[in-house]
Amino acid sequence: MAVAAHPDDESLLAGGVLAQHAAAGARTAVVTATWTADTHRISELADALDILGAGAPRLLGYADARNPDSAPGGAVRLVDAPLDEAVGRLVAHIRELQPDIVVGHDALGQLTGHPDHRRAHQITLLAVEAAGLPHLYPEAGEPWQPTALYAATHPESGVGRLGPHLQNVGKTLLAAPDAYVTTTVDVSPWVAQKWAAILAHRSEVARARPLPGLLARLPEDERTEIIRTEFFTRLSPAPAPGDPHRLTA
């Protein structure tokens, strides 16, 4: 199960891993924290998840910190939502889906440090632990403890060609130290599928500053080099020798 702050984060950060696990017969799913069901980006998200084999959209129902159009009904922004409420909503999805592995954002908020990414990271950390504790959120279902939590990240050595493109449109770069990365996955066999899922986020592809739009304007070989590797940090628990619940190439 992936927990993403916005529609398109799931495809950009873990699209290859999601496609890989779906191809192996695993049930995969994505919970998206912002944008509501009555917005155009959720139909795009549904198309992307269909391409990745990750089921239907699952939404926490909050607004994007920077875009009021993300919640026409006036939902609270994710960054303003009561922490206990947001954690409880995510716990309900974890207990329903019963995933072995959860993938979320890193503490930096990815390369650009988006506040929604950082908040989603905090919520995911708390929800993964709370989901296994029967006295927390009893209304959210029977307890379930995922085996592993991974944060999608970008190491300094892995920024490569992407960094200058982000800087050219005025975005910051918050790459993690290489030592922070515990798992590197070559998703080359699923890169076409991943790219198709990114393209499904049509409104972002059409814009110049968002990452899907930046990638769409690059030569294919350069784009493929950027998206064919996914980086993760295992946060809990520490990997054990022979542990079957780990991300693999």
Residues 121-142, mean pLDDT to the nearest whole number: 97
Question: 37: helix, coil or strand?
Answer: coil
Question: 136: helix, coil or strand?
Answer: coil
**Token pair in block for residue 216:** 């769409």
Letter string b/e over residues 58-94, b meaning 16 or more CB atoms within 10 A of that residue's CB: bbbbbbbbeeeebbeeebebbbebeeeebbbbbbbbb
Predicted confidence band of residue 244 (pLDDT cuts 50, 70, 90): low
Phi and psi dihedrals of 102, rounded to 5? -120, 135
Q: What is the pLDDT of residue 146?
A: 96
The whole-chain average pLDDT of the chain stands at 95
Phi and psi dihedrals of 37, rounded to 5? -65, -20
Q: What is the pLDDT of residue 172?
A: 85
- Determine which of 27-36, 92-101, 167-176 has the lowest per-residue pLDDT on average: 167-176
> Which residues, in sequence order, are CB contacts of 223 under 8 Å at separation 6+?
195, 215, 216
CATH classification number, 2-236, choose in 3.40.50.10320, 1.10.580.10, 3.40.50.300, 3.90.550.40: 3.40.50.10320
Q: Is the pLDDT at 53 greater than 60, yes or no? A: yes
Other CB atoms within 10 Å distance of the CB of residue 186 = 14
Global pTM reads 0.95
Q: What is the percent of the chain with per-residue pLDDT over 90, rounded to a whole number?
A: 92
Other CB atoms within 10 Å distance of the CB of residue 169 = 12
Predicted confidence band of residue 247 (pLDDT cuts 50, 70, 90): confident
Predicted confidence band of residue 112 (pLDDT cuts 50, 70, 90): very high
Domain borders along the chain are 2-236
74-to-18, 33, 66, 145 alpha-carbon distances in Å: 32, 15, 14, 33
β-pair partners for 208? none
- Determine which of 86-100, 197-211, 232-246 has the lowest per-residue pLDDT on average: 232-246
- The string of DSSP codes covering 42-102 is HHHHHHHHHHHT--S-EEEEEBBTTBGGG-TT-PPBGGGS-HHHHHHHHHHHHHHH--SEE
Helices and strands (H, E) in the chain, number of each type: 9, 7
- Determine which of 49-63, 145-159, 227-241 has the lowest per-residue pLDDT on average: 227-241
What is the per-residue pLDDT across 29-47, written as a single tens digit (0 to 9) for each? Answer: 999 999 999 999 999 999 9
